[in-house]
Amino acid sequence: MMSLSSTRLRLVAVTLIILTAFYVIHFSNFHGNLFKFSSTTKLRSFSPSNFSLGHQCICPKGSELLKDYIPEDQYEELVKRRVKELQQYKTRMASELSRLLFASPNSPLQYPIQGYIVRPLTSTLIPGLGLHAENRSSYKVSLSVSKGILTTNITPEQTIIKRSGKNKLIIESRSLVTLNNLLAKVSYTSTDYHINTGDLATFQFEMHEAVFPIAIKQPRVPVLYDMGTDISSQVTITTKTFQRYKHLRVLLDSIRQFYSNIKIIVADDSLETEHITGENIQHYIMPPAQGWFAGRNLAVSQVTTKYFLWVDDDFVLTEKTKIENLVEVMEAMPELDVVGGSVKGNQFYFALIYEEGEEIEGGCLYRKSGGKFQSLPGYPQCSMTSGVVNFFLARTDAVQRVGFDPKLQRTAHSEFFMDGLGTLLVATCGDVSIDHQLTTSENKSPLYNKFRYPGQGAGVGKLFIWRSFFLLPFLSGMSDFMLLFLFYQICYV
């Protein structure tokens, strides 16, 4: 019997070895064919090639180019308009503070390297200016800027102060102590009003030169919310509905089962509307079929609490829908803007990687389903990510700054997180969940499906072109989910 068992174990082991070898050979070839790169500049790499600015990113053969959705006779003119808009965007976003600076080794110059912030048109002392040099008969330094005026105190004896215009200051003294005292009293005043820009100061002594940043910023008035003492004063529940009143009423009943007083906001663009009434329920009726993101904008615009919880109209709260747990995470980490939960145990989070590319062709945006980053300190059930499922708690003022593009009417969710990339800090937590109602006749209605699944055409292609990336990383004939799965498994594992 033992001999027979040993024989079977050997057979199993041999079989596993053969299958493993077949898997490696087969999928390595598959990977090579799927992601084989060409030397031509017209293709784009699937995974980010690098993160430098101004380069052309590449995606593999078989990828769908968004420009293919645009009629040829419209494409050239559209690109010209897009380039102009992108240049204006860069002008708005650009700053002197983005320039790469290097510190010289063993410099005798002392200066601020970070944190020197001035208000527009306001005289402010430059902290930390100093010279640490060996004994000389005379010491001479110069300080120059491009967007401001430099001033210092009255000139003491044995000291010469010269100006080259208003933006350059030259100080010469026989005493190092006197010179440093004067440097400690140098002030900078910006000459033009701008709420968020910067300047670069050049500090020189003999052959030594240093450049340091000056941030020019108008302080913002803080937006503060009274958190009150209970969840109802902290969170508003928001949803958007269209032709699904049976589902909506089930959702509302489940909310009231667990949160009897919390405010609920419903945005409704149904073709034939029904009245939704109840304590602390605000029902906003929109013009018919305005769309998914237009409804989101309306609902979120009416929130007056610090946070709002977004739910779909066919969700249902359970005993595991602990909104308080999400609030706790947000309060513990004030930098967070959005925290997602799970729907029937699925979190559906994803990571986004954006390569800016260049002005004509645009950039590449990579979406990794299941992609996440580090865990949140103190909350091992939560991780940083780029986007989450349609069940999330969000900071009201942060989401209002990003908004929802009303041109995305029917099928959109990831696009909100694409627009918020670099602005919204997002996390996902697996311990707070909500349920999903079963499919009913409302979902199967031909009228509902006509609006729910409209198909994609040139309109969507143009919209994404204006979002500054021409390509989405998916292959012809494959579902978005399937390709994302392959990308994650083959390229990263």
Residue 42 has pLDDT above 60, yes or no: no
Structure tokens at 165: 């215009």
Residue of 66, 67, 62, 68 lying closest to 475 (CA atoms): 62
Q: pTM of the entire structure?
A: 0.73
Strand boundaries in 23-173, DSSP class E:
63-65, 109-110, 117-118, 124-125, 130-131, 139-144, 148-151, 159-163, 168-173
Q: What is residue 43's predicted lDDT score, i.e. its pLDDT?
A: 31
Residue range 109-217, CATH number: 2.60.40
Residue 188 has pLDDT above 90, yes or no: yes
Q: Which helix (H) or strand (E) holds 466?
A: helix 458-466
Q: What is the DSSP letter of 274?
A: -
Structure tokens at 100: 């790469």
- pLDDT category at 448 given cuts 50, 70, 90 is low
Q: Which helix (H) or strand (E) holds 392?
A: strand 392-395
Instruction: Please write the tens of the pLDDT for every residue from 7-36.
Output: 555 655 555 555 455 444 443 333 333 333
The number of residues making up the chain comes to 493
Instruction: Measure the CA–CA gap between 95 and 432, rounded to whole angstroms.
Output: 41
- C-beta of residue 429 within 8 angstroms of C-beta of residue 345: no
Residue 334 has pLDDT above 60, yes or no: yes
What are 265's strand-pairing partners?
238, 282
Q: What is residue 367's predicted lDDT score, i.e. its pLDDT?
A: 86
- C-beta of residue 305 within 8 angstroms of C-beta of residue 236: yes
- pLDDT category at 224 given cuts 50, 70, 90 is confident
Instruction: Measure the CA–CA gap between 34 and 345, rounded to whole angstroms.
Output: 32
Q: Which helix (H) or strand (E) holds 196?
A: strand 196-205
Q: Long-range CB contacts (< 8 A, 24+ apart) of 181-186?
A: 181/156, 182/152, 182/153, 182/156, 183/129, 183/130, 183/131, 183/141, 183/152, 184/125, 184/129, 184/130, 185/125, 185/152, 185/153, 186/125, 186/126, 186/129, 186/143, 186/150, 186/151, 186/152
Burial-class residue 120 by CB neighbours within 10 Å (0-12, 13-18, 19+): middle
- pLDDT category at 94 given cuts 50, 70, 90 is low
Instruction: Measure the CA–CA gap between 204 and 227, rounded to whole angstroms.
Output: 52
Q: What is residue 396's predicted lDDT score, i.e. its pLDDT?
A: 96
Q: What is residue 10's predicted lDDT score, i.e. its pLDDT?
A: 61
- C-beta of residue 237 within 8 angstroms of C-beta of residue 255: yes
Residue 467 has pLDDT above 60, yes or no: no
Residue 117 has pLDDT above 70, yes or no: yes
Q: What is residue 47's predicted lDDT score, i.e. its pLDDT?
A: 38
Structure tokens at 323: 């909104």
Average pLDDT of the segment spanning 454-469: 52
Instruction: Please write the tens of the pLDDT for every residue from 303-315.
Output: 999 999 999 999 9
Instruction: Please write the tens of the pLDDT for every residue from 363-393.
Output: 788 888 999 999 999 999 999 999 999 999 9
- Full DSSP string of 242-263: SS-HHHHHHHHHHHHHH-SS--
Instruction: Measure the CA–CA gap between 17 and 15, rounded to whole angstroms.
Output: 5
The domain segmentation of the chain, as residue ranges, is 109-217, 231-349+387-455
Helices (H) and strands (E) in the chain, counts: 12, 25
CATH number for 231-349+387-455 (one of 3.90.550.10, 1.10.579.10, 3.30.70.240, 2.40.110.10): it is: 3.90.550.10
Check for a shared fold between 109-217 and 231-349+387-455: no
- pLDDT category at 40 given cuts 50, 70, 90 is very low
Average pLDDT of the segment spanning 148-174: 85
Alpha helices (runs of H) in 392-445, residue ranges in sequence order: 396-402, 414-419, 441-444
Q: Which helix (H) or strand (E) holds 460?
A: helix 458-466
Residues with Cβ < 8 Å from 443, sequence gap 6 or more? 244, 314
Question: CA angle at residue 21 from 16 to 23, to 5 degrees?
Answer: 95
Q: What is residue 292's predicted lDDT score, i.e. its pLDDT?
A: 81
- pLDDT category at 87 given cuts 50, 70, 90 is confident
Q: What is residue 383's predicted lDDT score, i.e. its pLDDT?
A: 98
